[in-house]
């Protein structure tokens, strides 16, 4: 027995070294990936017309033209902005420096996790993200929880009843939900249940009613659920198909393997075979997607849903920052979300090894 323990220690040490080497390698590979994403986006931004300087110049010219129309006074807007004033505008937005210097300065700020300040909102990017995060967390978490809590049991039930009427009917239902865009479903729900042509059962916009902070606890919960029902249904309806069919196919593949036939031949009950033998192996591709899906719930943003239901989330913030050429918000959110996505991918791979012992890191050395 002592020999077995002694032999087990080197194997554990070697496995730990392989794991540490793999994590270090993946972290180092994130650096050029993140750098490439930021560089590509920064270069594209340089050639996009209508930047903050151009918008400020156009705004000043518009004010000058309005002043001339009102008072009939001469102005210099028709001849262009004063060069000194234009230089001050460029300095205000940091465009008085060469692009390479601005890019290096931006990288230095990002290394300190300083995401900069918004041109349009005149506040830090971090503050904007924190203000918009509750909406995205609400929609993302409901989407995540309902999708997995319904799709996995439904997929298992479909695998056990493969080919039955239940299987065909549920497949038709989830595929129809998958085929309908969430924005279209949201419009239909608003017309039917939010004061359109038919009933006014749900509110048109927002996550809470006016004066929500003064409500009682139970009133707060019911008011929140009342507001969030239609947006969540619009987002979740199309999410069931992929997870449900993936779960079903994974169970069917495991059920047909030799070890299941062997367990049945030994007299194991069908429930024991399904829940003790098949479940763990079949859920490997589902479980490994949990980290990315869970983290994505905090940063998920559906632009169309947020716009339709007037929900100020991260999706709407990203769209507005692109349209308004709010470059600090564009680059800051891109940096943060890309970094989180890369780390989440690493955690997903580590979860895959943890769930499936057959996967090892020795071949990566």
Q: What is the pLDDT of residue 6?
A: 44
Q: What is the pLDDT of residue 12?
A: 63
**What's the longest Cα–Cα distance across the chain?**
101
User: Which among 257, 62, 236 has a CA at the least distance from the CA of 143?
Assistant: 236
Q: What is the pLDDT of residue 362?
A: 52
pLDDT digits (tens, 9 = 90+) for 114-156: 888 888 888 888 888 888 888 888 888 888 888 888 888 888 8
User: Which among 291, 331, 307, 289 has a CA at the least distance from the CA of 129?
Assistant: 331
Concatenated DSSP letters of 93-127: HTTTS-HHHHHHHHHHHHHTT---B-TTT-SBHHH
Evaluate whether 159 touches 248 at the Cβ level (below 8 Å): yes
Evaluate whether 83 touches 92 at the Cβ level (below 8 Å): no
Q: CA-CA distance, 342 to 19, in Å (whole number)?
A: 17
Q: What is the mean pLDDT of each run of 10 residues along the chain (365 residues)?
A: 46 68 83 89 80 71 49 43 72 77 88 85 86 82 85 86 86 85 82 76 76 78 84 82 84 78 72 72 71 63 76 81 84 85 79 63 49
Q: What is the pLDDT of residue 94?
A: 73
Could you tell me the CA-to-CA distances from 248 to 14, 153, 157 in Å, in that order?
37, 9, 8
Question: What CATH architecture applies to the domain 2-47+122-180+237-364?
Answer: Orthogonal Bundle (1.10)
- In total, the chain counts a number of residues equal to 365
Evaluate whether 21 touches 361 at the Cβ level (below 8 Å): yes
* C-alpha triplet 297, 300, 306: angle, nearest 5°: 125
Could you tell me the CA-to-CA distances from 13 to 82, 144, 154, 283, 311 in Å, in that order?
70, 37, 42, 29, 51
CA 18 to chain CA centroid, nearest Å: 31
Among left, alpha and beta (phi > 0; psi -120 to 50; other), residue 257 is beta
Give the domain ranges of the chain.
Answer: 2-47+122-180+237-364, 49-112
Residue with tokens 């987002």: 235
With a CB cutoff of 8 Å and minimum separation 6, the contacts of 195 are 204
Q: Which spans in the chain are helix H?
A: 2-46, 52-71, 83-93, 99-111, 125-160, 165-179, 182-193, 217-236, 240-255, 258-265, 270-272, 279-282, 284-287, 290-299, 303-308, 314-323, 327-355
Q: What is the pLDDT of residue 74?
A: 39
Q: What is the pLDDT of residue 194?
A: 76
Q: What is the pLDDT of residue 60?
A: 66
The three-class DSSP label of residue 91 is helix
């Amino acid at each position: 027995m002592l020999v077995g323990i002694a032999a087990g220690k080197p194997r554990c040490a070697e496995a730990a070294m392989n794991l540490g080497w793999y994590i270090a390698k993946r972290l180092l590979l994130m650096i050029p990936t993140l750098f490439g994403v930021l560089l590509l986006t920064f270069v594209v931004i340089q050639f996009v017309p209508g930047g903050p300087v151009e918008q400020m110049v156009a705004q000043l010219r518009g004010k000058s033209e309005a002043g001339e129309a009102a008072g009939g006074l001469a102005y210099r807007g028709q001849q262009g902005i004063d060069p000194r004033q234009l230089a001050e505008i460029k300095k205000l937005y940091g465009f008085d420096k060469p692009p390479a210097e601005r890019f290096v300065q931006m990288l230095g700020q990002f290394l300190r996790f300083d995401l900069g300040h918004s041109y349009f909102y005149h506040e830090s990017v971090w503050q904007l993200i924190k203000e918009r995060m509750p909406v995205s967390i609400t929609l993302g978490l409901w989407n995540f929880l309902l999708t997995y809590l319904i799709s996995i049991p439904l997929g298992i039930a479909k695998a056990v009843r493969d080919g039955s009427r239940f299987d065909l009917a549920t497949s038709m239902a989830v595929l129809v939900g998958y085929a309908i865009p969430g924005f279209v479903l949201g419009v239909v729900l608003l017309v039917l249940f939010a004061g359109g042509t038919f009933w006014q059962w749900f509110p048109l916009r927002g996550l809470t009613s006016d004066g929500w902070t003064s409500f009682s606890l139970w009133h707060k919960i019911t008011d929140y659920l009342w507001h969030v029902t239609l947006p969540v249904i619009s987002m979740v309806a199309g999410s069931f198909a992929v997870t449900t069919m993936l779960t079903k196919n994974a169970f069917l593949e495991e059920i047909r393997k030799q070890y299941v036939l062997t367990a049945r031949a030994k007299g194991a009950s069908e429930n024991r075979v399904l829940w003790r033998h098949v479940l763990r192996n079949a859920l490997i591709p589902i479980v490994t997607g949990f980290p990315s899906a869970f983290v994505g719930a905090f940063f998920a943003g559906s632009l169309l849903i947020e716009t339709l239901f007037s929900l100020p989330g991260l999706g709407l913030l990203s769209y507005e920052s692109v349209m308004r050429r709010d470059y600090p918000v564009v680059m800051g959110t891109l940096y943060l979300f890309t970094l989180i996505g890369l780390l989440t991918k690493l955690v997903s791979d580590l979860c895959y090894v943890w769930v499936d012992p057959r996967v090892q890191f020795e071949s990566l050395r």
